[in-house]
């Protein structure tokens, strides 16, 4: 049976408006809805990800990344910081890039911002050992500078493979670089935090990077912590649902 595209657009419009009126803010991404909406083409980033073969385990992926020379950061790094945590963690926490201490130890979030992250998790009764912690970049940018676009582009396929292998149910993105790289948006963090997003069907929450919170003192730091606390409570609610 042939259907006029204009009629279909009208029906789809009415259907989406009905769901919005019913209070829905997002729709589940099911295989059915994907095939209904069709393939909208492949971006260069998607293509890059497809061109790299996914190893069958996280350990194999770790070994592959150890020798990575996809960007210039390999010249100055001491260690690749792959990330750590259970290979089947329900929650993945994704930061920006390893700092100096992470570069020297090869472990994520071991410096001052890592200590604050551990406290943030403790405040919502999550043990850091339950969580897989990693960053957008796996190598330290010298002087702790912000990652460059080409470095993010080179490293993102590895993170996407980690997500595919770990299959978390929930992701916490720390800071602007993580939020923008994962959600492919340039919206400000203030607008992105405090609500649920979806990355390939996985719930994703955005909050401030602990290093950003630590950049300030006094009232400003207190205000940032109060905002982060709201995000953390949302994270706790979503995390608890996974344990039920």
Of 29 and 62, nearer to ligand URA (C-beta) is 62
Helix axes 58-66 and 149-166, enclosed angle (nearest 10): 160
What is residue 25's DSSP assignment? -
Of 46 and 130, nearer to ligand URA (C-beta) is 130
Cα distance between residue 189 and residue 243, in whole Å: 28
Q: What are 201's two structure tokens?
A: 């069907």
CB of residue 237 to ligand URA, shortest distance in Å: 24
Of 64 and 79, nearer to ligand URA (C-beta) is 79
Residue nearest to ligand URA (CB): 95
Please tell me whether residue 219 adopts helix, strand or coil conformation: helix
DSSP letters spanning 52-65: SPPPSSHHHHHHHH
| CA nearest neighbour of 203 among 84, 26, 7, 57 | 26
CB of residue 221 to ligand URA, shortest distance in Å: 17
CB of residue 192 to ligand URA, shortest distance in Å: 17
All residues at 6 or more sequence positions from 29 whose CB lies less than 8 Å from its CB, including other chains: 198, 200, 201
Of 135 and 162, nearer to ligand URA (C-beta) is 135
CB of residue 144 to ligand URA, shortest distance in Å: 9
CB of residue 209 to ligand URA, shortest distance in Å: 6
Of 29 and 104, nearer to ligand URA (C-beta) is 104
Interface ranges with ligand URA (CB under 6 A): 81, 95-99, 102, 108-109, 113-114, 135, 211
- How far CA 206 is from CA of 53, 96, 172, 191, 202, in Å, comes to 29, 12, 6, 10, 13
CB of residue 140 to ligand URA, shortest distance in Å: 9
Helix axes 149-166 and 175-183, enclosed angle (nearest 10): 70
Of 211 and 234, nearer to ligand URA (C-beta) is 211
């Amino acid at each position: 049976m042939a259907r006029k595209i204009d009629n279909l657009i009208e029906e789809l419009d009415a259907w989406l408006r009905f769901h919005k009126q019913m209070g829905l803010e997002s729709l589940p991404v099911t295989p059915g809805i994907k095939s209904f909406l069709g393939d909208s083409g492949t971006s260069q980033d998607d293509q890059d990800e497809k061109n790299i073969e996914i190893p069958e385990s996280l350990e194999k992926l770790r070994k592959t990344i150890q020798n990575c020379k996809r960007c210039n950061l390999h010249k100055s790094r001491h260690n690749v910081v792959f990330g750590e945590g259970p290979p089947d963690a329900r929650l993945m926490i994704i930061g920006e890039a390893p700092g100096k201490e992470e570069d020297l130890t090869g472990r994520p979030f071991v410096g001052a911002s890592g200590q604050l992250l551990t406290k943030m998790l403790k405040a919502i009764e999550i043990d850091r050992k339950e969580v897989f912690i990693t960053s957008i970049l796996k190598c330290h940018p010298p002087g702790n500078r912000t990652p460059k676009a080409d470095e993010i582009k080179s490293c993102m396929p590895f993170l996407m493979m980690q997500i595919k292998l770990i299959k978390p149910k929930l992701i916490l993105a720390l800071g602007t670089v993580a939020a923008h790289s994962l959600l492919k948006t340039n919206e400000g963090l203030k607008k992105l935090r405090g609500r649920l997003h979806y990355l390939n069907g996985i719930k994703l929450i955005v909050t401030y990077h602990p290093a950003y919170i630590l950049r300030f003192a006094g009232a400003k730091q207190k205000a940032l912590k109060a905002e982060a606390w709201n995000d953390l409570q949302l994270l706790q609610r979503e995390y608890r649902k996974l344990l039920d």
